[in-house]
Chains A and B, each alone.
Chain A
Amino acid sequence: GQQLNQSPQSMFIQEGEDVSMNCTSSSIFNTWLWYKQDPGEGPVLLIALYKAGELTSNGRLTAQFGITRKDSFLNISASIPSDVGIYFCAGQRANAGGTSYGKLTFGQGTILTVHP
């Protein structure tokens, strides 16, 4: 099935540094989402994007919906130790009538490690 290409696969950074990760697809998506998963838990939604070009912030997190609708990125500014975890992008496509499918496609994840 369709998969999103998420990069990088892993990042090792120092506390206080900024982080950037992205997702690309060969298909158009009408919704892009970013989730974070802490060890032993389910993913938690960070940011949802619904329009091409949309730029949305949630605290130190900023995400953008690419103009081509085939990509999205997530930035984390001034990282802190609790930012550690796995970050997933996810995309949802629309059918010909513009209604969203029920299928959600996830990227492979970016493992973030923050050194104090």
Chain B
Amino acid sequence: EAQVTQNPRYLITVTGKKLTVTCSQNMNHEYMSWYRQDPGLGLRQIYYSMNVEVTDKGDVPEGYKVSRKEKRNFPLILESPSPNQTSLYFCASSLAGPSFSEQYFGPGTRLTVT
């Protein structure tokens, strides 16, 4: 089954404790992206990657890091989480090219930073 998976689905952590949210897709997609969703703000793009070893900032990259060492994986790293990073996070992937806007989203990771 074609899918985007994220782990963990739920995470409660404390300020300053480094964490990684994993994202994996099995569709051989070149493009992958991370978003955060907050009430009243819709989805905001954090980082995206056009292909392996190619990453770029979205609209809200501060406090986050990403890496793209393999095509299928695109982990999101919070080196020193803060309470304002409490949010619902989505990973997405798509083919590159004219239709790469048609992204497939993962199920989401709900992160709480206390």
Contact B103 A45 (CB under 8 A): yes
How many chain A residues touch B (CB < 8 A): the figure is 28
> With A104-B45, A108-B40, A108-B42 as given contacts, are A90 and B58 in contact (CB-CB < 8 Å)?
no
Contact B42 A102 (CB under 8 A): no
Contact A103 B90 (CB under 8 A): no
Interface residues of B in 74-112 (CB under 8 A from A): 90, 92, 98-108
Contact A41 B60 (CB under 8 A): no
> With A50-B98, A88-B42 as given contacts, are A102 and B90 in contact (CB-CB < 8 Å)?
no
Number of A-B contacts (CB under 8 A): 69
**Interface size band for B:** 20 to 34
Chain B CB within 8 A of A27 CB = no
Complex CA gap A44/B106 in Å reads 10
Contact B48 A42 (CB under 8 A): no
Chain A CB within 8 A of B44 CB = yes
Report chain A residues within 8 Å CB of B31: 102
Chain A CB within 8 A of B24 CB = no
